[in-house]
Structure 1
């Protein structure tokens, strides 16, 4: 998607993808990553997700990448935290205790800027990418995180009925992108209540990606 697409979504408040509470799949399955407390979790295309607050309350450190500066200002307002703001290359770095967020294009985030990552939680990034960008995204994510274990949430539905985002990403495609580096296992699947966007039947699945 063009950057302007997402910027417009945030400016217009068209953020149906935003959840007001921590994602239930995260709460239920995060422990499957077997991370030590104070581990550092990367949330790509994080928006102003409430998952940050949940992870911080559980004693983890968080790092995010997000295109919309508006979303990140709202996130820090919600957390009632005043960040330090600086420039790092093409990115704007928002920093506070246990929090680092890089505002800009995720493809401009290199490993040395991101820093050490113990796990990735991808609720909104892979499914936000159109098919022609997903290989570039997954390759970049593995490169900058050194293939850290992942908790990945995806949708699967008939995309001929509606288009994304969020896009439909099948098990076969997930394995195509990730099976060379990870064991790929489904930990839970369920039907999306009322259908995706209230329009089409969809299955939402949580995937656990663990290095060989």
Structure 2
């Protein structure tokens, strides 16, 4: 009799677990607004999220969920996502989203239909400010080299190049971006006013 009761209890528990399983039916990327969306079966969705700021890694855990569709991770790589991985743990679905630099996010769930949404935005204030000061300019040519190359032109070209290289990671300010003369005192004032880190 005890073995019959045990089998009966096992069947009830198994049925409850099976009935409560959430299926992730579709994973999609919206462009306007930029969103990563998980379409789920059922009327409501719960999830846990953590963020590793150093590695820019967002982790979502969807309890009692299984992936019910094929996902090609490379299709989600773009302006906001550097890498996407989904792992079935059996009792939960784990979602690893590596964000691009200077990308922010907001997660929330919606009903009717049930889904989990990750909103992206790229207007986060950059952590450091760099001031680039191309010397000379305008009436001050600086040194004049072979073929009458002027120092003011070379340093301006190099300054613009450095601005492009650093622009994705830092707030970059130039004391001059055209051929104008700026006094030394005004150059330092630009950096101080911006509270530049470098």
**TM-score, length-normalised on structure 1?**
0.23
Specify the structure having the higher radius of gyration (Cα). Answer: 2
More strand by share: 2
